[in-house]
Amino acid sequence: MTLELTRDLLQYMFDHTLTKIFITILLAILAQFLVRLTVNRAVRGIVHTTKSSDALDAKKRQDTLSKMFRTMFAIAIWIVAILVILWQLDINIGALATGAGLLGIIIGFGAQNSIKDILAGIFIIAENQYRIGDIVSLYANGKDISGVVEDISIRITRLRDLDGNTHIIPNGSINVTTNLSFHFANVNIDINVAYDTDIDHAENVINSIGTELSGDETWKAHIFEPIQFLRVDGFDESSVRLKAIGKVEPAQQWAVAGEFRRRLKKAFENEKIEIPLAQIVVHTRTAK
């Protein structure tokens, strides 16, 4: 009795169009959920086995690839689901496809930019040019835009700049990409001292502060190579320009440089090393 009731219930369900459509939608949702789990695990396995500079790079790569594949599979699943629903509604898919083909040709002429964006997005992700969480500078549509990558799809890149503004950039419009957080970053600091400064003394103070900072419990995890004196970089109107350089964790160059300058300013004050202001010499002539 129970078996017959179950069979009759299933027969009733599959004989009714609305029920069929409901089941199709449920199956599409289930398929999307399973694809999400499978893609996430597969990408973690693939990226984990490739050579990556560190765990942070691997995590960014995983997030970016997972999102792209999930989006592509989701689109495919729902296209199939819609076609099945149309078939269940007894709509002639062949005739619809013929009309859609003509419409597609018309739309195609106006969708060239979108196709360009999609192809560019695939290359950006496949070539690992930048990932979600990276800090980048993009030259697009004749202007430079810098910020943190919040999202990448196969059509657009979304950046948030330092002021909190969100920039939506079509991938096809990006001409030059500068990634400021790939593997490592350099701290490149110009330091101006007075002309009467003992350069050797200034060099020792700079190196001492760089070494001290790299050993600090708060900062040492972010510093790969201590900031050290590099060279005398030039002679300005009222000062000698020195250059110091170090290697740090990606996206930490600004924080490390700021802390180095703060400590160096105090050290220069203690060591009586002058950081000169720009000076203008004015000559006056006495009337005869």
| Confidence class for position 51, pLDDT limits 50, 70, 90 | very low
Higher pLDDT, 216 or 285: 216
Higher pLDDT, 119 or 224: 224
Q: Could you tell me the pTM of the whole model?
A: 0.61
As assigned by CATH, the class of the 185-270 domain is: alpha beta
Whether residue 132 contacts residue 149, with contact meaning beta carbons closer than 8 Å, is answered with yes
Which regions of the chain carry the CATH code 2.30.30.60? 130-179
Percent of the chain predicted with pLDDT > 70: 78
| Confidence class for position 50, pLDDT limits 50, 70, 90 | very low
| Weakest-pLDDT range from 125-134, 184-193, 275-284 | 275-284
Whether residue 211 contacts residue 226, with contact meaning beta carbons closer than 8 Å, is answered with yes
| Confidence class for position 129, pLDDT limits 50, 70, 90 | confident
Question: Mean pLDDT score of the chain, rounded to an integer?
Answer: 82
Rounded to an integer, the average pLDDT of 75-85 is: 85
Answer yes or no: is pLDDT of 256 > 90: yes
End-to-end Cα distance, the chain: 129
Please tell me the predicted confidence (pLDDT) of residue 97. Answer: 60
Q: How far apart are CA 145 and CA 162, in angstroms?
A: 11
Q: Does domain 130-179 have CATH number 2.30.30.60?
A: yes
CA dihedral 53, 160, 225, 177 (to 10 degrees): 70
| Closest alpha carbon to 58 in 226, 245, 162, 183 | 183
Which regions of the chain carry the CATH code 3.30.70.100? 185-270
Answer yes or no: is pLDDT of 48 > 60: no
Whether residue 239 contacts residue 202, with contact meaning beta carbons closer than 8 Å, is answered with no
Higher pLDDT, 19 or 13: 19
Whether residue 157 contacts residue 139, with contact meaning beta carbons closer than 8 Å, is answered with no
The residues pairing with 97 across neighbouring beta strands, listed in sequence order, are none
Amino acid at 288: K
